[in-house]
Chain A
């Protein structure tokens, strides 16, 4: 069963981090990646550039409309994602809870709709 873990956190908190804090976070993610790869659940995952680098695209009446920013203004933004392959939701929740941002952000666990 595959799940997408969406890592939502407050970008302004991230931007305000000291280099040491940033380093510690990266170490945390490195550890998570190693552990989950060894366990065989990790399929894919990436950190995303902040929403200030985001572009939204819509096609209306055949016209491509682009705009600066994310699709919705929210307190927390998607900062990264993982695709994991787990036994069931309990395992996915356990994996999500190990993400460094689980302690100060929110992880959304979405089952992948296999086609």
Chain B
């Protein structure tokens, strides 16, 4: 809805305000008038009409009014079915295309990377500024300012609102893929609030991933990313118990995993790998496939996974990758071997404020029966963890070793 409105008005702030207005009006009207037959279309029409009013009042908006009017669906006969890709009578420009345009605009390389991610989460993921600030460990005013600056630059520097032409597509792809994956991760483990899995965001990221894979069939990393997201998402149902608590991978009920999604993910990964151009998403998908296709936790090929993490570290040298490699090494070669890697990572001062670092150390210490050290590490992790489910898991473990 926001994507469509941004295209029709060309003004990000106006579009956002009008969408908010439409929701506010819905809150006023729906309780008395009843919920319209097609709430989404009602909101879009209301927001667009509001935008038209605003633009009409603004003399310089005259051209935009015409543009928005041209792009509007039949205003008198009520909006078309929003599921219809051609709801916006603009020829080939359906709602899906609007979202993709918005995606590429949000991920334009003229914007700073942190701004691209924030903007995508804000405009396509619908996250609040507070949530985005939390996800990136920055104060809310900083994030708010980042969003304002990014939108201002899009307007002032005339960053185009479109899917880039073919010759620009490959170089713009990496940034878009990174942002989609971050979006997925935000949904997979929401950092704020009590809901661990925001299904909507994951589904959104997968939907965008499918569109990207379709748009760029020759880009194995687009396939790899989609495979990766499907393989993670397939395990969603087994990941949280009835009480909303996180279930570790080895304790998950594998029959609850989505077989179809796993099969699709593996097939996509195979298709991507056949192209012989491995990349970070394909390697991560291969790791996820190792987990998803192991019949039991004990069957997991940890040596293979440790090797894949080593390969991943070549594409993405990062402390988080190294931490994951440490976990795989601990499974393949014993907790002491993993602990050595974790302690080396901690000594380097990497990942300050990242609760999974002390949490991992705590788990390894627990498995080595060093309970006092484990308890201290669990407390350290608890002081840093923001997610309720993570906190409950850590509290439970702490009780076990105390």
Bound form: Cα–Cα A93–B159 in Å: 10
Interface digits, A87-112 against B, CB 8 Å rule (1 contact, 0 not)?
11110110000000000000001010
Bound form: Cα–Cα A57–B156 in Å: 29
Interface digits, B144-158 against A, CB 8 Å rule (1 contact, 0 not)?
000000000000111
Bound form: Cα–Cα A89–B158 in Å: 5
A17 within 8 A of B: no
- CB nearest neighbor in A for B160: A88
B110 within 8 A of A: yes
Pairwise interchain contact A90-B157, C-beta atoms closer than 8 A: no
Write out the residue numbers on chain A whose beta carbons fall within 8 Å of the beta carbon of B298.
Answer: none
B94 within 8 A of A: no
Q: Is the interface of B mostly helix, strand, loop or mixed?
A: loop
Q: Is the interface on chain B under 10, 10 to 19, 20 to 34, or 35 or more residues?
A: under 10
Chain B stretch 103-139: residues in CB contact (< 8 A) with chain A: 108, 110
Pairwise interchain contact B157-A111, C-beta atoms closer than 8 A: yes
Write out the residue numbers on chain B whose beta carbons fall within 8 Å of the beta carbon of A88.
Answer: 158-160
- CB nearest neighbor in A for B167: A94
A48 within 8 A of B: no
Write out the residue numbers on chain B whose beta carbons fall within 8 Å of the beta carbon of A87.
Answer: 158, 160
Binding site for A on B (CB under 8 A): 108, 110, 156-160, 164, 168
Show 24 residue pairs from A and B whose CB-CB distance is below 8 angstroms, ordered by the A residue. Answer: A1-B158, A86-B158, A87-B158, A87-B160, A88-B158, A88-B159, A88-B160, A89-B108, A89-B110, A89-B157, A89-B158, A89-B159, A89-B160, A90-B159, A90-B160, A90-B164, A90-B168, A92-B158, A93-B110, A109-B157, A111-B156, A111-B157, A111-B158, A113-B156
Binding site for B on A (CB under 8 A): 1, 86-90, 92-93, 109, 111, 113
